[in-house]
Every structure is written in C-alpha cells, then in structure tokens.
Amino acid sequence: MRSLANKIIDAHGGLERWRKFSRLKAKLAQGGALWTLKGQPTTLSDTSVTVDLVREWASHSPFGPEAKISSFERDRVALTDSNGVALEELQDPRASFAGHTLETPWTELQLAYFAGIAMWTYLNMPFLLAHPGVTTEELADWTENGETWHRLKVTFPAEIATHSTVQTLYVDDQGLLKRHDYDVEIAGNTPGAHYVGGYVDVQGIKIPTSRRIFPRQPDGKPMAEPLVVSIDLSEIQLS
C-alpha cells in the first residue's frame, strides 16, 4: 500500500516529472489583513514570484513601488534595484524576529524574508515531502463542511526555513491538498489555517492558484474572519 505522502506527491504530478524542472515563476496578487498590520499594505500586492525547486531560494519582482527585487535564502535576504545594484541585505534574518508578535511591524527586509519562506514552501509543496530530512506521520481523518480529509503531519529539519517545524496537510481522497496548517513562528507563533484550491495543470504538474489563510482556533477549526492573507497566482511557468 502506498503511503499517504507518496499518494499526495503522485496526485500532483509525481516526483519524476517534478524533478525535470528547476524554477517556478508566476504572477502574484496578494491581499488580506496581514500586510497592513505589518506596515506593508501594498509592497507585494501585485508582483511576480520566482522560486527555485532545488535549493531554498525565492525572489519577488517588483518589490514595492520603487521596483526593487528581493532575494531570499535561508541565512540571508537582500534587496537590489531594478538593475541588480545591491541596496541592503540582512544576514541571519530569522534572528531579527526575536520577540515579535502578530502586531509587530516588519521592515522591507523582514517582509522579503517572510514572503520568501512562505512562497518557497507553498510552491514546492507537496514535493517537499520527499526532501531529505523531512518526516511524515499519518493522523486521524478530519471532517469539515461535510467533507472528510486525510491528514499528514510534516516535520521539517532545521536546515529548511519555513513557518514552523511541524505542519499539517489535509488532502481529499485523490490526494490533492485542501488545507495546510502551521504556526507562524516569526509572528508570535500565530496559528493559521491555509485553504488551497483553483488547481491548474502546468506541464503535467497540478498547482493551486488560490490560497486563503484564516486564524486557527485551539480546536483546529478556522475562524471565519479576518481573512489574514489571500494569494492568487496566474501565468504560472515551470522551467
């Protein structure tokens, strides 16, 4: 019998096909309450995102009205101008979030780090389940809105920068992602329930285009509001 992790990977196109590509690029429109709360209401509301599918790297362009370009890696985040001239950088960026709560504003470099870990994780999921050091454990099924979803606990190794060490995937009977839970460690361990939909087929890989993130209550149920983050992708390219 296939493991749930393998079923999920296969449902999204399979590891063999995924490994033919090294980059994913898409147009990105974002909304929700988080950005204003963090003092960055429109910096990344309409941009393009590129993520590496082999190493942990992501970039947003344009980054803000001055059309900067971000570069995110696990231990470094940087901004350049539109010509690639270095503007500023931050080494060990995660350490800069010490003591942060959900309400603590972000600098542009901190925003670049958050957006980097978020989009790199989202756009590489579920193929990250096959990443060295990532472990999984099947949990009890979950019923929501009349649907029953299978759940997978995912534990990330320290060398991967992501929202939280432990995350939970919810999938339908076909193995397609429906929901993705985590605690945002760099924002006071804020718990999120992240809903996934709007799948499209890109060169044989199934990729969701719509993401909606809501607060998660202690019993695991989402709050109906506020909408913390909305993410809509279009013009997705694999190369």
Output the pLDDT for position 2.
Answer: 64
CATH number of the domain where residue 214 is located: 2.50.20.10
d(CA 42, CA 47): 10
What pLDDT, on the 0 to 100 scale, is given for residue 1?
Answer: 47
Domain, as residue range, for 113: 4-238
* Distance from the first to the final alpha carbon of the chain: 33
**Segments of the chain with pLDDT less than 50:** 1
Number of domains, the chain: 1
Quick: pLDDT tens for 199-235: 999 999 999 999 999 999 999 999 999 999 999 999 9
Supply the pLDDT for residue 94.
Answer: 97
Q: Which tokens go with 3?
A: 């493991």
